[in-house]
A and B are shown apart, each in its own frame.
Chain A
Amino acid sequence: MVESRYIVEIEDLRKNYGSTRCWRGSHNSHGLALDGVTLNMARGKIIGLLGPNGSGKSTLLKSIAGLVKPSAGRVLVDGEPPSVRTKDKVAYLPEIDHLYSWMTVKEILDFMASFYSSWQQERAWELLEFMNLQGEKKVRNLSKGMRARLKLVISLARNVPLVLLDEPLSGIDPPSRARILESLVFQYREGDQTIVLSTHEVTEAETIFEDVIFLHEGKVKLYDSAENLRARHGCSIQDLWEEVYG
């Protein structure tokens, strides 16, 4: 099989969570979380998935991770539909706290090492040091910012072609936000991994993105390289955000 240029290919993706269920109060007028999304994501890029709460960012990432079943349309990860097989190719960082609080940081790393064949223990310790995390600390004793850093270490320590980060910067202290963004540059390896990061805090992150996707009410409003957008519109990604959602 010929390897596609794209790690993710999405065609007319729709997701309806059902009209009886109120999903975080953020339905758009049609009751659809995703309303016909078509896009491809190239390999080796850091992509910003931007949009306010309820625009469909989380649902889109979950669809790619295979955690949400599309109502219609098609998702391909590395050329195949999300399945047990593609889970070996995707690292997904959920918005929620998912780590066992009674484990130490080191125990978490060992646990992950036994869980994922793609795990790189050396890489994990390197990232841990970069994040100023201590191995002997218990997860429950970490601050929110430190837990966010640990979640990121776990996502980046796997040698996978696709990393999905759902709101990794949300609600944490500025130094941790800065460190998390720096770690993305730190761990970047020549063109073989795509990182998709969803956020509604653009300013700090915008120099890190190569491409940006603006989602609006379950649709792709804008998708281009950040540098093209700056050149064409003569404004920052943050300025564009205000134009699109303001």
Chain B
Amino acid sequence: MQLNFDLRKPIYLQIVDEFKRSIARGELKPGDKIPSQRELAQKVKVNPNTVQKAYQEMERIKLVETLRGQGTFIRKDESVLKNIRDEMAREALRTFLQEMKALGFVPQDILALVETEVARQEL
């Protein structure tokens, strides 16, 4: 995991997002072990308590579980994986729609443009 933090936003949330992205892309799979908090803090050069906060958040949203004496693992729960993919897709769509609206496009035009573009790229 190579992280370039946007220092204008809380770092722990960016760590959580990076794990979500890795899961959505399939680089991390259910049951995979992730680095210990200490290892990650050293690797990305972040305050260990900030990393701890990120791990607590990932446990809270049931993304990972920590097994005593064994480490932290991506939960073996396919619904979690699906939720993350859905969430990231919604996020991408939200950004896209915002920009299209800012450019003055109405929903009907946007739909038509998306259809055209999808068809064109599939050729």
Contacts and interface: CB of A to CB of B under 8 A. Distances in A.
A235 B9 CA distance: 7
B105 interface: no
B9 A230 contact: yes
Interface stretch (B41-49, B64-72, B82-90, B108-116): B41-49
A188 B47 CA distance: 9
Interface in B30-77: 38, 41-42, 44-50, 53
Given A185-B42, A186-B42, A210 B47 contact: yes
B10 A185 contact: no
B49 A234 contact: no
B8 interface: yes
Chain B facing A: main interface SS: helix
A239 interface: yes
A172 B9 CA distance: 29
A209 interface: yes
A236 B46 contact: no
B47 A46 contact: yes
B41 A239 contact: no
B8 A185 contact: no
B46 A45 contact: no
Interface string A38-53: 0000001110000000
Contacts of A181: 45
A237 interface: yes
Interface of A: 44-46, 181-182, 185-186, 188, 206-210, 226-227, 230-231, 234-239
Given A46-B47, A182-B42, 15 more contacts: A45-B49, A185-B41, A188-B38, A207-B44, A207-B45, A207-B46, A207-B50, A208-B46, A226-B47, A227-B10, A227-B12, A227-B53, A230-B11, A234-B8, A236-B7
25 contacts: A44-B49, A45-B49, A181-B45, A182-B42, A185-B46, A185-B47, A185-B48, A186-B42, A206-B7, A207-B7, A207-B44, A207-B50, A208-B45, A208-B46, A210-B47, A210-B49, A226-B11, A226-B47, A230-B9, A230-B10, A231-B10, A234-B8, A235-B8, A236-B7, A239-B8
Interface of B: 5, 7-12, 38, 41-42, 44-50, 53
